[in-house]
Amino acid sequence: MSFWAVSRGGTPPSKVVPMLNPNQRQFLEDEVRYREKLKLMARGDAMEEVYVRKQETVDDPLELDKHDSFYHTTKSLLVLFQIMGVMPIHRNPPVRNLPRTGYSWGSKQVMWAIFIYSCQTTIVVLVLRERVKKFVTSPDKRFDEAIYNVIFISLLFTNFLLPVASWRHGPQVAIFKNMWTNYQYKFFKTTGSPIVFPNLYPLTWSLCVFSWLLSIAINLSQYFLQPDFRLWYTFAYYPIIAMLNCFCSLWYINCNAFGTASRALSDALQMTIRGEKPAQKLTEYRHLWVDLSHMMQQLGRAYSNMYGMYCLVIFFTTIIATYGSISEIIDHGATYKEVGLFVIVFYCMGLLYIICNEAHYASRKVGLDFQTKLLNINLTAVDAATQKEVEMLLVAINKNPPIMNLDGYANINRELITTNISFMATYLVVLLQFKITEQRRITQSQA
pLDDT tens digits, residue range 275-295? 777 877 888 888 899 899 999
Q: Which domain holds residue 259?
A: 61-435
Question: Quick one: which of 312, 85, 81 has its CA closest to 177?
Answer: 81
Question: Quick one: which of 326, 242, 291, 239 has its CA closest to 397?
Answer: 291
End-to-end CA distance of the chain: 86
| 406 lies in some domain | yes
Give CA–CA dist 308/358, Å, rounded.
16
Which letter does DSSP use for residue 19 in this model?
Answer: P
Give CA–CA dist 176/250, Å, rounded.
13
Amino acid code (one letter) for 62 = L
| 235 lies in some domain | yes
3-state SS class at 347: helix
Q: What are the mean pLDDT values of the chain's consecutive 10-residue runs (447 residues total)?
A: 50 54 59 66 54 55 85 92 91 85 91 94 91 74 69 84 87 91 91 88 94 91 80 90 92 92 90 80 87 89 85 85 79 71 85 91 90 83 82 86 84 88 86 77 74
Give CA–CA dist 159/124, Å, rounded.
8
Give the pLDDT score at 43.
66
| 51 lies in some domain | no
Entry pTM: 0.81
Q: Where are the beta strands (DSSP E) in 27-87?
A: none
Give CA–CA dist 441/426, Å, rounded.
23
Phi, psi of 30 (to 5 degrees): -65, -40
Which letter does DSSP use for residue 232 in this model?
Answer: G
Give the pLDDT score at 4.
46
Beta bridge partner(s), residue 102: 90
Give CA–CA dist 292/310, Å, rounded.
25
Measured between alpha carbons, how far is residue 87 from residues 28, 181, 300, 330 in Å? 39, 18, 15, 44
Longest dimension (CA), the chain: 104
| 55 lies in some domain | no
Tally of domains within the chain: 1
Give the pLDDT score at 49.
47
| 32 lies in some domain | no
Give the pLDDT score at 10.
54
Amino acid code (one letter) for 238 = Y
| 12 lies in some domain | no
DSSP per-residue letters across 262-274: HHHHHHHHHHHHT
| 215 lies in some domain | yes
Give the pLDDT score at 11.
57
| 407 lies in some domain | yes
